[in-house]
Amino acid sequence: MSENTTGSIQSVSKESRRFTPSDEFRAGAEVKSRAEYEALWKRSIDDPNGFWLEQAKALPWRTAPTKALEWREPHAKWFEDGELNASECCLDRWKGTANWQKAALVWEGEPFDAQGQPEIVTLTYAQLHDRVVRLAAKLRRNGIEKGDRVAIYMGMVPEVVVAMLACARIGAPHTVVFGGFASDALRDRIIDCGAKALVTQDMSYRRGNEVKLWEAAKAAVEQCPTIATVIVHARRPDHAAMDDAAFQKRFSLGEEDYDETASPTMMKGKRLVRFTSKGDGKFAAGEGDAVALPAEHSLFVLYTSGSTGKPKGVLHTTGGYILGAHLTCRYVFDLKPSDLFFCTADVGWVTGHSYIAYGPLATGATCIMFEGAPNFPEPDRLWDIIERHRVSILYTAPTAIRAFIRTGEEWPQKHDMSSLRLLGTVGEPINPEAWLWYHRVIGGGRCPIVDTWWQTETGSIAITTLPGAVDAKPGSAGLPFFGIHPKVVDQEGNEVAANAGGKLILAGPSPSMLRTIWGDDERFKTAYWSDVPHVYTTGDGARKDEDGYFWVVGRIDDVLNVAGHRIGTAEIESALVSHPSVAEAAAVGRPDDLKGQALVVFVTLKSGIEPTDALRKQLLDHVSKEIGKFARPDGLRFAGALPKTRSGKIMRRLLKDLASGVESKGDTSTLEDLNVLAALRGASE
């Protein structure tokens, strides 16, 4: 890759730099020039049926579809008469090819043993298939049928991928709940989608600590009447994280189907089953077989934050989703079966769904899966993994890159990362400085960087820089992927001029886009298809430059992006007001060098309650307990009152300025009581 800064005045600003793909990279890429990209993109928009039916041939259909899109705004159906199975797309299709005996997953645990070695598990496609078949049979034997929902609450272990694919195999939509969520958040998600079973594990390791998944899972399912079966994977061979000794012993013998009388500390009335990861094979032939499913069969529900308190269960279906995940792997990551792909996201977020599980496996690549924190025990853990395994593609988030910049170049420099050939980023806008550092220090100046803009709702990458085809501009997400028609518009939906800011919308549906919100189609319509008429509202603000590149500036709704985690301000606020001392709360973001945004909350207390440091800590702990540690606010200010409009709406804009320490320039004429603002200025965090 070469830098070709132009000679114009603007070239002194980093934002005008462009990085052109090297001839070598271009030669091996799927799309080799901007002209070729433009032609394909235009066809995908002008002739969606022709384009997508052709692209869909990449999947192993049981029954090939004869039509692509059926659109009744805002509901899309894709490949409706086609039938397939997502687990077959990821596994069975490689039977009889060279991929079958090749590693599908290479997993590395966080702890090092006495010899300084981490635990490493490699599963070939054949082995992964075998485990998926066994678990699929086990699910069936426990009464899970096509259409039943299964919740998955696990750490980063190969078994979480086994669980997802086993669900897909029998047509049971999964809902993976990030292992960092607290018990109450898990309970709410299980209840919302009415899951019949939970797949969980005893514990996992993160940053040298034990994550007590079993404890949280137990507390949650006790309050979930729909859960009949709990399947537990034991991460620790000694079962020490499980409850009582008798249970541990029986569990380690591989017994199943405990009833409520087995132990007083066990879950009442739930069937408890051991996760079979290897061995026993006590199931009938065919019990683990994949079923052919209509393309529009639900594949998974994934909860994400929106601008009201309740998380949204984003529903993805089978055919369109798997096609999007697969094609973006090929076109955007240039992913080949010979690649070792390392996506550092947790499988509990959409990035882990599409780019650890479904996309790379449907492309026949090998995925690295790492259990722990990227800077544990030393700040070079990630670089150590890249060197030892010879990773070829790294996909991570700007917040992680900024943290690495802070710990210093000496850590990556200790490692030979010459195996890397492509880098990717996702989750938030990347500041050009971080982009340039990533390019120079991690990519050795030779690896293209693909910035990838997308959302839980789009299912797969929607705006990006196709690595062999177009120049990269540090800080810009790039150009639309096939079938994506983004525009920057004003409130009426009129496209604004080049470089002017506005709302980022998508003009129509694409195959991997969400179909609805689980159990709440009205909310689907109002949240995505009503703000600007007849288009999909992303919730992001952006500008499009004269060259057609999109520059995303961040959320414009009440959603924050804290260290790559999407957090709704309303969720934090409702967690706070659920505490008996709190009268009212407002959550806002303030710019943060490391996390992108930091979360600051303003709290008014019920009368008679004194603001103390002990109470502050209690409230912060309360948010951790209700939602999860990752959502713990960075600052909390007590306030006598919150600034409101005359109609009673909290003026978050003013609070945001206050939290950022900037003088509000905006209009305060609608403020009901100016004294409130003056009082808040002095408050400490």
Cβ count within 10 A of residue 505: 23
Tell me how far, at minimum, the Cβ of 680 lies from ligand WTA, in Å.
28
Cis peptide before 377 (omega within 30 of 0): yes
- Say how far apart CA 9 and CA 272 lie, in whole Å: 68
Residues 503-542 that bind ligand WTA (CB under 6 A): 538-540
Q: Which of 173, 348, 427, 468 lies at the binding interface for ligand WTA (CB under 6 A)?
A: 427
Tell me how far, at minimum, the Cβ of 456 lies from ligand WTA, in Å.
3
DSSP state of 326: H
Tell me how far, at minimum, the Cβ of 591 lies from ligand WTA, in Å.
15
Q: How far apart are the first and last CA of the chain?
A: 46
Which one, 229 or 458, has the nearer CB to ligand WTA?
A: 458
Find how far residue 334's CA is from the centre of its chain.
Answer: 21
Give yes or no for a contact between 265 and 247, defined as CB atoms under 8 angstroms apart. yes
Give yes or no for a contact between 490 and 477, defined as CB atoms under 8 angstroms apart. no
Residues 407-426 that bind ligand WTA (CB under 6 A): 426
- Say how far apart CA 234 and CA 277 lie, in whole Å: 10
Tell me how far, at minimum, the Cβ of 527 lies from ligand WTA, in Å.
13
Question: What helix, strand, coil percent values describe the chain, rounded to 5?
Answer: 30, 25, 45
Residues 546-565 that bind ligand WTA (CB under 6 A): 552, 554-555, 561
- Six-digit token pair at 16? 């005008």
Which one, 343 or 658, has the nearer CB to ligand WTA?
A: 343
- Among the residue ranges 6-14, 142-150, 287-295, 427-435, the one whose residues contact ligand WTA (CB under 6 A): 427-435
- Say how far apart CA 521 and CA 173 lie, in whole Å: 18
Which one, 48 or 486, has the nearer CB to ligand WTA?
A: 486
Tell me how far, at minimum, the Cβ of 390 lies from ligand WTA, in Å.
27
Residue 55 lies near ligand WTA (rule: CB under 6 A) = no
Which one, 366 or 561, has the nearer CB to ligand WTA?
A: 561
Residue 454 lies near ligand WTA (rule: CB under 6 A) = yes
* Helices 674-681, 652-660: inter-axial angle, 10-degree rounding: 20
Question: Phi/psi class of residue 630: alpha, beta or left (left: φ > 0; alpha: ψ in -120 to 50)?
Answer: alpha
* 3-class SS string, 409-426: CHHHHCCCCCCCCEEEEE
**Which amino acid type is present at position 645?**
T
Tell me how far, at minimum, the Cβ of 428 lies from ligand WTA, in Å.
5
Residues 260-319 that bind ligand WTA (CB under 6 A): 304
Which one, 206 or 353, has the nearer CB to ligand WTA?
A: 353
- Say how far apart CA 535 and CA 487 lie, in whole Å: 10
Q: Which of 306, 319, 412, 429 lies at the binding interface for ligand WTA (CB under 6 A)?
A: 429
Cβ count within 10 A of residue 162: 28
Q: Tell me the backbone φ, ψ of residue 333, rounded to 5 degrees.
A: -95, 0
Cβ neighbours of residue 99 under 8 Å, at least 6 residues apart?
A: 125, 337, 364
Burial (CB < 10 A; 0-12, 13-18, 19+), residue 308, is middle
Which one, 510 or 561, has the nearer CB to ligand WTA?
A: 561
Q: Which residue is nearest to ligand WTA (CB)?
A: 456
Which one, 506 or 658, has the nearer CB to ligand WTA?
A: 506
What x-and-dash track marks residues 565-604 binding ligand WTA by CB under 6 A? -x--------------------------------------
- Among the residue ranges 9-17, 336-344, 445-453, 618-626, the one whose residues contact ligand WTA (CB under 6 A): 445-453
Residue 401 lies near ligand WTA (rule: CB under 6 A) = no
338, 466, 542: which is closest to 26 by C-alpha?
466
- Among the residue ranges 148-156, 253-261, 447-455, 575-583, the one whose residues contact ligand WTA (CB under 6 A): 447-455
Cβ count within 10 A of residue 575: 26
Specify the pairing of strand 229-233 against strand 271-274.
parallel
Size, binding site for ligand WTA by CB under 6 A: 23
Cis peptide before 379 (omega within 30 of 0): no
Residue 456 lies near ligand WTA (rule: CB under 6 A) = yes
Q: Which of 202, 334, 428, 634 lies at the binding interface for ligand WTA (CB under 6 A)?
A: 428
Residue 86 lies near ligand WTA (rule: CB under 6 A) = no
Find how far residue 478's CA is from the centre of its chain.
Answer: 20
Tell me how far, at minimum, the Cβ of 304 lies from ligand WTA, in Å.
5
What x-and-dash track marks residues 346-365 binding ligand WTA by CB under 6 A? ---xxx--------------
**Which amino acid type is present at position 657?**
D
Tell me how far, at minimum, the Cβ of 674 lies from ligand WTA, in Å.
33
Tell me how far, at minimum, the Cβ of 596 lies from ligand WTA, in Å.
9
Q: Which residues bind ligand WTA (CB under 6 A)?
A: 304, 349-351, 426-429, 451-456, 477, 538-540, 552, 554-555, 561, 566
